[in-house]
Structure 1
């Protein structure tokens, strides 16, 4: 009775997993960037791991049913079987890893013509810095960072004085233009994640990480922190507003520069 129950339970587990995959009660959010290829990589991973899951459990169910009367044998070594498993495992790792590495290489190497925005993460707030009319982000220094100057801007640098700061967001971006995000953190490790854009990158204190994408849909999207960053982690949310290019340009022209904000 116990043997039959175990066999049925294993088969039911596989059938339930396959049913959930086919019915798709949870699935991708609508795509709003150029990174549709990440969906294909996830589907490939789901397919391969799903086949492995089904194969192992169905083989286990078959073995319990077929060999339950046979005496067990202790085999300390089985070189032929071990070689087959090594090659099979190696093939699976290569197939899973290679597409991800190819995608990641493209993800962190933006095209030459990109609109650069700096993202600053701190407990529990997302802030942004846009280049001013000179098109360049000014110098920063961790020694200059303070509550009044969270980005650590070097105000002696003209390129920093004309930058535009948006404390607390939202992050406004032009539709259809490649955007490079430079990510920094002032305190602990955070992670910038927008599901519709299929982008997620850790934000690490003491270094600048980078990620790029092209917004392909107008509207408002939510930024979430995908790395536990402290007691207020659940509240570390933000918004991205994707606007028509002409609307974005009209908006950014109305924003005060750092020098204007500080009265310098």
Structure 2
């Protein structure tokens, strides 16, 4: 009796904690409200399952508790119950997975004309590269990485001469324009995450991953690495600054190109 009551109280306390809790997701600053909607649906489905299972167990503990003279019966199979539970589980899994697959399809399908930005992770810092006036990135190779070429841009590729290089961990983007973020790791597994953008993706050594988003609010948002990447993992942070178009253009004009960095290095 006490165990059944305790289980019912756990359900009540869990629901109260969820609805009264002051901790909520940070305000969204991109087009990915779909992700918030999918998370909310996941909470709804799993909450229904949690409440139903725990309260059913509580009911069974009370209803079929030991009483003098009561004897249990053994029923090895019940086809009706198995079909019911199997059907309900299948429906719940479909409800959980189908919206997520749809959102994932959008997440990795950038619109035509989206501007491209490369984010490069290395223990334990973020660097960025933007295409220059030719709107094309130069080739890269880890063999070219050194103290003055942190991103490994090929000096022999003319497309890379006007690439804009940002090594201070602060990336500026214009508000309201879709951005395709190309992700590359120099060493180990990293994960690019901006909570307000609702966007995260692994950086896998040896391959290029990507996602896209449209920033909808100006401001500063912290870039985190959320894949454990060594002892300096907590310090691997950057800053995403969403600017009005004119402010973004001013910032971009002040950034060095790969050619200018190489020229300065020669002196």
Normalising by structure 2, we get a TM-score of: 0.94
CA distance in 2, matches of 1:107, 1:140: 25
- Match of 2:5, SS state, is helix
Aligned with 1:20 (options 7, 17, 22)? 17
Q: What's the counterpart of residue 187 of structure 1?
A: 187
- Consecutive unaligned residues in structure 2, runs of 5 or more: none
1:24 deviates by: 3.3
User: Structure 1 residues 64-73 or 185-194, which shifts more?
Assistant: 64-73
- Match of 2:252, SS state, is helix
Over residues 94-117 of structure 1, what are the superposed CA-to-partner deviations in whole Å (9 max), with x where a residue is unaligned?
110000000010000100111100
Distance 1:144 1:76, change over 3 A: farther
Alignment of 1:70-219 (within 5 A): 70-219=70-219
Q: What's the counterpart of residue 245 of structure 2?
A: 245
- Consecutive unaligned residues in structure 1, runs of 5 or more: none
1:85 deviates by: 1.8
CA distance in 2, matches of 1:32, 1:222: 12
Q: Name the Cα RMSD after superposition.
A: 1.4
- Match of 1:193, SS state, is strand
Distance 1:91 1:247, change over 3 A: same
Over residues 100-155 of structure 1, what are the superposed CA-to-partner deviations in whole Å (9 max), with x where a residue is unaligned?
00001000010011110000011110110011111111111233333432322111
- The question of whether the paired residues in 1 share the 8 Å contact of 2:169 and 2:237 is answered with no
CA distance in 2, matches of 1:222, 1:230: 20
- Match of 1:16, SS state, is helix
CA distance in 2, matches of 1:262, 1:144: 12
CA distance in 2, matches of 1:33, 1:71: 61
4+ long deviations beyond 4 Å:
none
Aligned with 2:58 (options 61, 65, 83)? 61
CA distance in 2, matches of 1:212, 1:107: 6
1:88 deviates by: 1.3
The number of residues matched between the two structures is: 261
Over residues 29-77 of structure 1, what are the superposed CA-to-partner deviations in whole Å (9 max), with x where a residue is unaligned?
0110011111111110000000100110001111101111354444433
Normalising by structure 1, we get a TM-score of: 0.95
Aligned with 2:41 (options 22, 26, 44)? 44
Aligned with 1:8 (options 2, 5, 17)? 5
CA distance in 2, matches of 1:80, 1:253: 70
